[in-house]
Chains A and B, each alone.
Chain A
Amino acid sequence: MMLEVRGISVAYGAFEVLHRVNIVVGERHIVGLFGHNGAGKSSLLKGIYGVLQVRSGSVTFAGEETTNDRPFRQAMRGMRFVPQEGNVFPNLTVEDNLRMGALRLAGDDSVHAARFEDVYETFPILRERRRARAQVLSGGERQMLALSIALMTRPKLLLLDEPSAGLAPILVERIFETIRVIRDRFGMSVLLVEQNVNEALRIIDEVCVLEEGRVVFTGAASEKDLIVRHLWRLSNMSHRSS
């Protein structure tokens, strides 16, 4: 198992947002994390990565317990988190942002050059903009850069928070296809929070649905009808309460 989360709880002050959540991500698996707003999806990713403190339960990554380890330690072990915001260095150029992602990358210049080439091949627009500062990139270009920074070290596990947010419709499909391709090519595991359920389901192996900090459904992505029904029920509930 690449990632095993056992009964973790996470809180903001006295406000508990996750209540004893279990989730597992198998090797080379893409797991989708769905749920309505405030369900605790982002908090779960942050708890796993050590950005938020886990109050109880455990996180095991590649066979090693890593509960509440600092984010940089998780990164050194081969886990990478791409948050929804603040995911690039705005004052650095695209190229330097990618270099920051590769700081701990071993090997000679040719290894680095090959990684850059991989990124530019996946997102040609980043090659065009490589000397531009990240702050002048459009919202969508910034998303591509954030994902690319994480890919520079070829992590074993990627935690992605809404990779398709702010992307043009034509790119949404492409970004999911890219995630699938990098999984196939480099054999990484992915835990993905996403709103674009229909598009995401094309590449996802398993699904976990959260509701108010609890797991209410886990299963294979092929049980699409069941998943969609769960999400419908949730969104209808939240609409009724509003």
Chain B
Amino acid sequence: MNFGGVFVFEDVSIAIPLGKVTACIGPNGAGKTTIINIVCGAFPPKAGEIFLDGVRLKGIRPFDTVRHGLCRSFQDVRIFPSLTALENVLVAMPEQRGERIGGLFFRGARVQERANRDKARRLLQAVALESAAERPAGELPFGQQKLLSLLRAVATGARVLLLDEPAAGAEADLIPRVVDLIRSLVKAEGRATFLVEHNIDLVRQIADRVYVLQGGRIIAAGDVQRVLDDETVIREYLGRVYDA
């Protein structure tokens, strides 16, 4: 992978199994976000392939990812600031009323719409954001906006979630909600999660396997504690020992 004249990757292979959280850590500029961008088709890899459920993903475009069962979140918050928090979740959900022309005329679609609304409220409740449901999302504190964008990714029902630093900029009191959300709504439903994160406590709480990326190469991979004990990882990335 070449990126603006800067060489990013060399021969990187990563597996993201269903029902597990696969984390990716590494220094700033290692290429962690770029992996998500490539999987979502923002730019094509120079060589190599991406498989989803054993089928080669080819020519997928970013707007089309959810239809393929993939959904990503962004490091910076990307929500609809003038829509309410509830509406933000609603538009992320599948089976929208306007999606098929028939849906505009038949009653069944109305029922579906009500069901979606109930589900969206339940999702907001799951992360204790119900009090913010009717407020414009752009007015919410940053940490809550971040949580909302994570919730939107979950609400799409995608089987593979690619999460880019869901904890960055979120206050410590929000981290347990991120953990709960990923455990109860993603892992328990057998969905696959790829988690890019610098918050080592979060990684330790939910990741099953960790890849450490540095300068476009994987320098370590394995279960969490083993990776955190790796001397190179401590020297290049952690800067200190994280005890079990």
Contact = CB atoms under 8 A, between A and B. Distances in A.
Interface of A: 12-13, 15, 35-39, 42, 84-85, 125, 132-133, 136-141, 162, 165-171, 173, 195, 197, 231, 234-235, 238-239, 241-242
A168 B171 contact: no
Given A37-B170, A169-B238, A138 B128 contact: no
Nearest to A38: B141
B169 A84 contact: yes
B198 A42 contact: no
A36 B239 contact: no
A136 B3 contact: yes
A42 B142 contact: yes
B169 A165 contact: yes
Given A38-B143, A136-B4, A169-B237, A239 B176 contact: yes
B172 interface: yes
A169 B198 contact: yes
Given A132-B4, A140-B27, 9 more contacts: A37-B174, A38-B143, A42-B141, A137-B29, A138-B32, A141-B28, A162-B142, A168-B25, A197-B172
Contacts of B76: 85, 139
Range of interface residues on B (Cβ < 8 Å): 35 or more
B171 A37 contact: yes
Ranked 8 nearest A-B pairs via Cβ: A140-B28, A242-B128, A170-B239, A37-B143, A235-B173, A138-B29, A37-B171, A165-B169
Most buried by A among B26, B75, B127, B168: B168
A133 B6 CA distance: 12
A84 B168 CA distance: 10
Interface of B: 3-4, 6, 25-30, 32-33, 75-77, 127-128, 135, 139-144, 165, 168-174, 176-177, 198, 200, 236-240
A231 B169 contact: no
B179 to A, nearest CB: 11
A195 B142 CA distance: 12
Contacts of A84: 142, 169
A170 B168 contact: no
A138 B33 contact: yes
Contact of A241 (B128, B144, B169): B128
Given A38-B143, A84-B142, A242-B128, A167 B28 contact: yes
B29 A140 contact: yes
Contacts of A239: 173, 176
A170 B172 contact: no
Contacts of A140: 27-29, 198
Contact of A139 (B25, B28, B139): B28
A195 B165 CA distance: 15
Most buried by B among A42, A165, A241: A165
B139 A12 contact: yes
A195 B6 contact: no
Given A36-B173, A238-B173, A241-B128, A166 B142 contact: no
5 contacts: A15-B139, A138-B32, A162-B142, A165-B168, A169-B237
A162 B165 CA distance: 14
A138 B28 contact: yes
A170 B237 contact: yes
A168 B28 contact: yes
B228 to A, nearest CB: 10
Given A42-B142, A84-B142, A166-B198, A139 B33 contact: yes
Contacts of B173: 36-37, 234-235, 238-239
Contacts of B141: 37-39, 42
Given A133-B4, A139-B165, A38 B144 contact: yes
B6 A132 contact: yes
Given A37-B141, A169-B198, A170-B237, A139 B75 contact: yes
A138 B169 CA distance: 15
B243 to A, nearest CB: 14
B169 A162 contact: yes
B5 to A, nearest CB: 8
A171 B237 CA distance: 8
A170 B27 contact: yes
